[in-house]
């Protein structure tokens, strides 16, 4: 391993990871990750969803254990087997999904792990006083009364931070902290982080928002597919480079692009669509888009910019606040349910396949017929036709090369790639006029991904209007006839498939000026 | 990525045989858990019996004799199997969709009351009377189960509690009515109505027993439920809702509609229990005629893992237990209620093993029905 | 004159087991364990109170015995639900069945009573003389047992326990947000066992009040009171004071029905009012309750 400590110029990092590996079943979440965090810095760890950042940080915080590798705190190898161990080592994590108790008060939540008591009775006044003191010290405003659950995410997050500080953390890990904050709250948060650094704390920030990286971080590490790329000084990196590292793929799946066979009619029309996300914040701003029969429209972009919400809105799984959706010139905006949208001709390959796309414990057969279970040939007058189901199963498993075996097995006995192939095959078999595919090859091996891509191309050739949403740039470029970029809920584009990555990367960052920067990863001796 | 070799084509008879084999093996595998639960319960129960001074072996022998030891015994077994199978089916169907109908007791009580009322106040020839009683009992039970279903769908009120509450209400109201308005003056001790008219009395199909054609109806319903769940689109939707609500919604299934359907059907079947017990076995409405069929329905359903065909078998088994316990009560003076100890133990143990799988998952992913 | 001291006296008497059992149920739900065992546990406690009173010769032994046996039963339920991960609803049905069966069996065999009832010590009057001498209040309190006083203070005690004691806060955390509690170092399982032990204690005492209060145990002595107590827990949304007040109110209305018999309000129907009210309460407020139950059932 390349040593950073050249001629004793760099002090011991406050936290160092060596060769951290973690596997969940067949999925490698962290692949031999090595990282150095220096004292007093704000170190950003960036990557798209599923890159392994959260897993890595959970290992550091003792929430889960690594399969291999070492963690060094202040140069000493430390065994972190539980959050308690992590706390003792001075590491505290502020989780993305808060680990708070809504029915308890603010102070009770902060001190939950260490309630001050006298004869078993909690010393309320003392607790409140200590909490207020801490809040003052770090500039984190918190209310003094009421249930925590009554307050918004801003308060909850500050409580989480105070919790971590209370247990004596020198290193604070924040996992996507601004995902739930308004811009003003985010500013407050970064002010607080700056104050923390000034008082000697080290902050690790997990994020996929590059704006934050450039606004607040001193060093940045990019993670992709479980691997980490060498950290670089933020001042020396450019946004487009980081994006390239985040979303690029090592192996190009591309084929030379074949233009659509015919100039088809517009099948899916989206006009001035507005939507909210789960936090009631606006996720889509005035989206307008048209997809024609026989074409693939690709939407690229880093995850979390509204793509998920767009797909759900089209598929009927999310309410439309404003705007209009039409399929085949028919206004379907008011048909706000999955049932109705399916009936209108929209099928959807969801990104979270295990939650929505399949019922994991149900049989492959049962998973296959979802959506088609009321119409011929799968059902005649309400009765399921085993022969037709078997035929469909055969056709799909053969076409997608899913290992042969009883269709009665539970579907979660298959690999992730095979499951996704079944989902894809199922939705394609519907031969609906509109197909929305969200990250169809995420977590899927290359061979399966290629098969799925071919299937999408075939659908296109058959006249289906395909809307492909993906954070894999190569995927979008090799499949799409027109490319858009989604950034902060707004659509940019379209571009032809030959567009350069830099152009797209530019759009993804909302138009910041790209800086031609030195190659990422060159160690800068003498800096810390 | 490996590719499995395609298997050489099988002959028709080979594939039939192997399908049957795999079916038998799967049934055997599925039976291991409930069987273990039953065996452990038997052991614990034997210990309890010994502790209070009974000879467990003698009691178990009497149990077996009382259930299958004679034609009378078999008749008794079948007589008890009828309401147990029906209750089991009533519980199993909503359970497949993730719902708990804990109100079977109240629904069957209403069914019994209604069929008795008909039997007392409406004169009709037998070929009309009996179907009428059956249909009305099922209707009343269905209605009573539709209330908690509607509350769940439109307000999100958990059916677990509302079915319990409504059950208590219906039992209370019916008991009150029978005690104060429809009581048979000839009977001082028991709270019951006068006997129903002859035409309403379900005849027994087995000589010297109280087994009515309710048993046949129960079997038919069981088979029909099996066909429904496994062979129809509607049944598929029910199963998928139970397997994963988010998947079902994504696929466009109308969850609320399915929930209403299964609860209504469940209530109807429960109503049938009341009708057959009241007009069939007892010949009149007797307050407290149900020894807890609502609870026992859960026992049967859990033993059968909510599979209708297995419910038929499980209902028969528990029916045998019930019949045998009567023999034990007569021989040893042990009250019949003590058999509920064993039943309770079985429920506890069977639910423990099932708890790890589908049932708990269903509970954890429950939401309102409106998409 | 309906609303006189005698009415309130009997209201206290009827409400006591309801308040105690409901308090136990609320604690269990606060810890995240859905608990439908109240009726079975009360029956269990009622039996063993008489049993131990007879065997031990005094009501004190009866109380201790009832409490101990019911705690054990509740912990057994906890084992099945927490460790074996059984479905709490079904496990509760099982426990209630077992309780009914065992008490019935033991009644016949150990207490050798063919008629179904057995007499033993009764709970003595615990009201000090100076209280009994007070004008109106004295009449209400005269003759009430120690359990009645326990029930009266149980409301504030449970409230204090759940909101001001460290153990209580941790118990609530285990029920409200188990993963968060675990991350904070709380043993969720231990908190739940503790909660169930308390439920057992309170339900055992509730049962003792039922049987030793009249110095008798009969087979159906709970007469559905456990379900009424459960209804109070639901209606009171698992919160100490609302549950306390609801249970007291239910007790009061049951006592009232005896008085109103003459006026044509049938007692058998009035006892059903709590169930109806619970259904209405659920229908009206279920968004929050549903979430609470999903948590409780987890």
Q: List the single residue in B6, B7, B247 with the smallest CB-CB distance to A358.
A: B247
Identify whether C287 is preceded by a cis peptide bond (ω within 30 of 0).
Answer: no
Q: Does the distance separating the beta carbons of A83 and C180 come in below 8 Å?
A: no
For residue C241, the distance in angstroms to the closest alpha carbon of chain B comes to: 21
With contacts defined as CB-CB under 8 Å, which chain A residues touch B243?
359, 361-362, 366
How do residues A266-295 score in pLDDT, each as one tens digit?
A: 888 899 999 888 777 788 888 999 999 989
- Which pLDDT band holds residue C265 (cuts at 50, 70, 90)? low
Q: Mean pLDDT over residues A113-140, rounded?
A: 86
Convert C64-103 to b/e letters by CB count within 10 Å (16 or more is b).
bbbbbbbbebbbbbbbbbbeebbbbbbbbbbbbbbbbbbb
pLDDT, position B16: 60
Question: Nearest residue of C to residue B358 by CA position?
Answer: C87
Phi, psi of B292 (to 5 degrees): 100, 40
CA dist C229 and B156 (Å) reads 22
C230 pLDDT band, cuts 50/70/90, is: very high
Predicted pLDDT of residue A515 = 34
Residue C285 confidence (pLDDT) above 60: yes
Q: List, for residues B285-329, the tens digit of each pLDDT value.
A: 998 898 889 988 998 998 888 999 989 988 998 898 888 887 777
Would you call A112 and C186 a contact, using CB atoms and an 8 Å cutoff? yes
Domains annotated on chain A, with CATH: 15-237 (3.40.50.300), 266-508 (3.40.50.300)
Quote the CA–CA distance of C87 and A474 in Å, as a whole number: 48
Q: How many of the other CB atoms lie within 10 Å of CB of A104?
A: 23
Which chain C residues are within 8 Å of A84, Cβ to Cβ? 185
Q: Do B151 and C283 touch (CB under 8 A)?
A: yes
**Higher-pLDDT residue of B103, A472:** B103
Nearest CA to A19 out of A6, A45, A1 is that of: A1
**Residue B270: what pLDDT?**
97
DSSP state of B279: I
**HSE toward the beta carbon, residue B359, CA cutoff 13 A:** 28
Does C217 have pLDDT greater than 90?
no
| B207 pLDDT above the threshold of 60 | yes
> Which runs of consecutive H residues, i.e. helices, occur in chain B?
12-51, 56-68, 71-96, 104-121, 126-155, 159-180, 214-231, 233-243, 245-250, 255-275, 293-303, 308-332, 339-355, 358-364
CATH code linked to domain B56-364: 1.10.3470
Quick check: B113 pLDDT over 90?
yes
Higher-pLDDT residue of B340 and C151 is C151
- C125 contacts chain A (CB < 8 A): no
Distances (CA, A) of B130 to A277, B118, B121, B194, B218: 58, 10, 14, 17, 16
Q: Count how many domains chain C has.
A: 1
User: Is C184 within 8 Å of A104 when comparing Cβ atoms?
Assistant: no
Tell me the C-alpha distance between B285 and B120, whole Å: 10
Q: What is the pLDDT of residue B53?
A: 78
Q: Give CA–CA dist C294/C32, Å, rounded.
A: 9
User: Which of C90, C219, C294 is closest, CB to CB, to B347?
Assistant: C90
A152 pLDDT higher than 90: no
| pLDDT for res C34 | 94
Does A525 score more than 50 pLDDT? no
User: Residue B277 in contact with residue B290, Cβ under 8 Å?
Assistant: yes
Mean pLDDT (whole number) for C19-31: 97
Give tens-digit pLDDT for A334-387: 877 887 888 888 999 998 888 888 998 888 889 999 888 888 888 888 889 888
What's the confidence (pLDDT) of residue C118? 60
Pairing of strands A330-331, A346-349: unpaired
Name all chains with 3 or more CB-CB pairs below 8 Å to chain A: B, C
| pLDDT attached to residue C101 | 87
Angle at A310 between CA A308 and CA A312, to 5 degrees: 70
Give the per-residue pLDDT at A475.
Answer: 85
Q: If DSSP codes are grouped into helix, strand and coil, which group holds residue C118?
A: strand
Domain, as residue range, for C174: 5-297
What CATH number is given to the structural domain containing C79? 1.10.3470
**d(C-alpha A334, C-alpha C93), whole Å:** 45
Q: Is the pLDDT of residue B129 over 70?
A: yes
Of B160, B168, B355, the CB nearest to C224: B168
| Pick from C164, C167, C173: CB nearest A101 | C173
Domain extents for chain B?
56-364
Residue A10 is predicted with a pLDDT of: 67
Mutate to test the interface with A, among B3, B25, B233 (most CBs of A within 10 A): B233
Mean pLDDT check: name the lowest of A65-74, A445-454, B224-233, C236-245.
Answer: A445-454
User: Which residues of chain A lie closer than 8 angstroms to B6, CB-CB?
Assistant: 404
| pLDDT reading at A257 higher than 90 | no
State yes or no: pLDDT of C263 exceeds 80.
no
B234 touches chain A (CB under 8 A): yes
CB contact under 8 A, B348 and C105: no
Contact B172 C85 (CB under 8 A): no
* pLDDT tens by residue, B216-244: 999 999 999 999 999 999 999 999 999 98
Q: How far is the C-alpha of B229 from the C-alpha of B258, rounded, in Å?
A: 12
The Cα A124–Cα A126 span in angstroms is 5
Give yes or no for B251 touching A (CB within 8 A).
yes
Q: B308 CB contacts (<8 Å, ≥6 apart)?
A: B89, B92, B93, B222, B223, B225, B226, B229
A232-255 average pLDDT score: 69
Quick check: B346 pLDDT over 90?
A: no
Residues of A with Cβ-Cβ distance to B231 under 8 angstroms: 383-384
Which of B160, B302, B352 is opposite residue C84, by nearest beta carbon?
B352
Render pLDDT for C67-116 as a digit per residue (tens, 0 to 9).
999 999 999 999 999 988 888 988 998 899 899 888 988 887 777 654 45
β-sheet bridge partners, residue A346: A434
Minimum Cα–Cα distance from C111: chain B residue: B52
Q: What interface predicted TM-score (ipTM) does this complex get?
A: 0.84
pLDDT at C218: 85
Q: Check residue B11 and give its pLDDT.
A: 47
If you average pLDDT over residues B114-124, what whole number do you get?
A: 89
Chain C interface, mutation test: which of A64, A84, A104, most C Cβ atoms within 10 Å?
A104
Residue A469 pairs with which residues in a beta bridge?
A: A299, A438
Contact criterion met (CB < 8 Å) for A360 and B244? yes
């Amino acid at each position: 391993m390349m040593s950073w400590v050249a001629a004793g110029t760099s002090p011991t990092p406050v936290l160092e990871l060596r060769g951290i590996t973690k596997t969940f079943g067949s999925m490698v979440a962290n692949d031999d990750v090595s990282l150095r965090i220096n004292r007093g810095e704000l170190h950003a760890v960036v990557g798209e969803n599923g890159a392994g950042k959260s897993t890595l940080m959970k290992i550091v915080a003792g929430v889960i254990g690594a399969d291999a590798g070492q963690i060094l705190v202040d140069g000493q190898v430390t065994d972190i087997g539980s959050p308690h161990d992590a706390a003792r080592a001075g590491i505290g994590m502020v989780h993305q999904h808060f680990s708070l108790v809504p029915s308890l008060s603010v102070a009770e939540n902060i001190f939950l792990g260490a309630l001050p008591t006298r004869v078993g009775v909690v010393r309320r006044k003392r607790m409140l006083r200590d909490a207020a003191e801490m809040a003052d010290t770090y500039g984190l405003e918190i209310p003094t009364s009421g249930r925590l659950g009554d307050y918004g995410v801003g308060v909850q997050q500050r409580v989480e931070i105070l919790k971590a500080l209370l247990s004596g953390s020198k290193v604070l890990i924040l996992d996507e902290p601004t995902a739930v904050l308004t811009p003003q709250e985010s500013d407050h948060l970064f002010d607080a982080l700056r104050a923390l650094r000034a008082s000697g704390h080290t902050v690790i920030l997990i994020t996929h928002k590059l704006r934050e990286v450039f606004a607040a971080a001193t060093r940045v590490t990019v993670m992709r597919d479980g691997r980490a790329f060498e950290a670089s000084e933020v001042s020396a990196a450019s946004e487009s480079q980081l994006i390239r590292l985040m979303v690029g793929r090592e192996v190009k799946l591309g084929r030379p692009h074949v233009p659509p066979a015919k100039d088809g009619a517009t099948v899916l029309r989206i006009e001035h669509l507005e939507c909210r996300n789960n936090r009631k914040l606006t996720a889509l701003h005035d989206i307008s888009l048209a997809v024609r029969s026989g074409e693939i429209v690709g939407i690229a972009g880093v995850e979390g910019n509204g793509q998920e919400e767009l797909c759900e809105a089209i598929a009927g799984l999310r309410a439309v606040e404003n705007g209009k959706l039409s399929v085949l010139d028919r206004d379907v905006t008011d048909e706000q349910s999955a049932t109705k949208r399916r009936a209108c001709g929209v099928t959807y390959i969801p990104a979270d396949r295990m939650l929505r796309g399949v019922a994991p414990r149900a049989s492959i057969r049962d998973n296959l017929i979802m959506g088609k279970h009321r119409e011929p040939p799968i059902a005649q007058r309400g009765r399921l036709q085993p022969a037709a189901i078997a035929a469909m199963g055969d056709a799909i498993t053969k076409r997608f090369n899913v290992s042969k075996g009883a269709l009665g097995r539970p579907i979660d006995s298959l690999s992730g790639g095979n499951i996704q192939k079944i989902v894809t095959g199922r939705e394609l078999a519907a031969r609906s006029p509109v197909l929305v595919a969200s990250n169809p090859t995420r977590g899927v091996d290359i061979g399966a991904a290629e098969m799925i891509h071919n299937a999408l191309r075939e659908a296109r050739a058959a006249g289906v209007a395909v809307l492909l949403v993906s954070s894999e740039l190569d995927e979008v470029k090799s499949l799409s006839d027109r490319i858009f970029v989604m950034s902060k809920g707004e659509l940019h584009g379209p571009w032809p498939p030959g567009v350069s990555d830099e152009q797209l990367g530019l759009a993804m960052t909302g138009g910041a000026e790209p800086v031609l920067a030195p190659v990422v990863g060159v160690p800068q001796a003498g800096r810390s | 990525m490996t590719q499995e070799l395609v298997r050489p084509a099988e002959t028709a008879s080979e594939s039939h045989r192997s399908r049957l084999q795999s079916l038998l093996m799967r049934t055997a595998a599925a039976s291991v858990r409930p069987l273990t639960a039953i065996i452990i319960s038997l052991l614990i129960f034997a210990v309890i019996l010994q502790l209070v001074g009974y000879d467990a072996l003698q009691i178990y022998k009497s149990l077996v004799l009382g259930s299958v030891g004679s034609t009378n015994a078999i008749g008794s077994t079948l007589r008890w199997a009828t309401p147990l199978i029906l209750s089991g089916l009533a519980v199993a169907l909503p359970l497949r969709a993730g719902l708990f109908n804990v109100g079977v007791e109240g629904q069957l009580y209403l069914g019994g009351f209604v069929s008795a009322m008909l039997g007392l106040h409406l004169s009709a020839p037998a070929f009309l009377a009996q179907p009428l009683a059956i249909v009305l009992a099922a209707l009343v039970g269905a209605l009573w189960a539709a209330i908690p279903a509607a509350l769940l769908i439109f307000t999100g009120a958990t059916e677990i509690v509302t079915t319990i509450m409504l059950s208590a209400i219906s039992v209370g109201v019916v008991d009150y009515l029978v005690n104060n308005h429809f009581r048979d003056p000839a009977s001082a001790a028991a709270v019951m109505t006068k006997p129903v008219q002859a035409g309403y009395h379900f005849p027994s199909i087995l000589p010297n027993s109280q087994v009515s054609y309710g048993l046949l109806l129960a079997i038919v319903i069981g088979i029909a439920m099996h066909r429904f769940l496994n062979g129809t689109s509607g049944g598929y939707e029910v199963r998928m809702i139970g397997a994963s609500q988010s998947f079902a919604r994504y696929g466009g299934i109308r969850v609320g509609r399915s929930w209403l359907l299964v609860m209504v059907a469940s209530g109807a079947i429960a109503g049938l229990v009341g009708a057959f017990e009241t007009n069939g076995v007892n010949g009149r409405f007797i307050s407290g005629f149900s020894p807890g069929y609502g609870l026992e329905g859960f026992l049967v359903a859990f033993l059968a893992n909510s599979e209708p065909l297995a419910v038929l078998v499980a209902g028969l088994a528990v029916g045998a237990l019930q019949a045998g316990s009567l023999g034990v009560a007569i021989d040893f003076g042990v009250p019949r209620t003590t058999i509920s100890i064993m039943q309770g133990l079985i429920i506890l143990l069977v639910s423990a093993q099932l708890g790890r799988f589908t049932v708990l998952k269903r509970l954890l992913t429950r939401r309102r029905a409106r998409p | 004159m309906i609303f006189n001291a005698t009415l309130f006296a009997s209201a206290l008497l009827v409400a006591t087991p309801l308040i105690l059992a409901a308090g136990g149920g609320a604690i269990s739900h606060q810890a995240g364990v859905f608990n439908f065992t109240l009726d079975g546990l009360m029956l269990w406690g009622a039996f063993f109170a008489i049993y131990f009173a007879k065997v031990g010769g005094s009501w004190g032994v009866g109380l201790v015995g009832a409490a101990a046996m019911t705690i054990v039963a509740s912990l057994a339920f906890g084992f099945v639900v927490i460790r074996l991960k059984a479905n709490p609803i079904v496990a509760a049905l099982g426990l209630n069945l077992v309780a009914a069966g065992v008490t019935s069996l033991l009644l016949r065999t150990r207490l050798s009573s063919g008629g179904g009832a057995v007499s033993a010590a009764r709970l003595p009057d615990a009201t000090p003389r100076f209280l009994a001498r007070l004008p109106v209040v004295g009449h209400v309190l005269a003759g009430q047992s120690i359990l009645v006083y326990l029930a009266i203070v149980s409301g504030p005690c449970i409230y204090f326990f759940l909101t001001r004691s460290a153990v209580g806060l941790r118990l609530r955390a285990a029920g409200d947000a188990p993963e968060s509690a675990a991350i904070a170092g709380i043993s969720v399982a231990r908190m739940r066992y503790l909660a169930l032990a308390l439920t057992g204690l309170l339900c055992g005492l509730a049962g003792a009040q039922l049987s030793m209060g009249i110095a008798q145990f009969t087979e159906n002595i709970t007469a559905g009171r456990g379900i009424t107590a459960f209804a109070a827990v639901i209606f009171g949304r698992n919160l100490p004071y609302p549950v306390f007040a609801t249970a007291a109110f239910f007790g009061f209305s049951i006592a009232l029905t005896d008085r109103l018999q003459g006026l044509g309000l049938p007692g058998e129907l009035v006892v059903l009012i709590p169930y109806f009210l619970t259904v209405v309460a659920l229908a009206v407020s279920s968004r929050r309750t549903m979430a609470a139950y999903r948590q409780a059932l987890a």
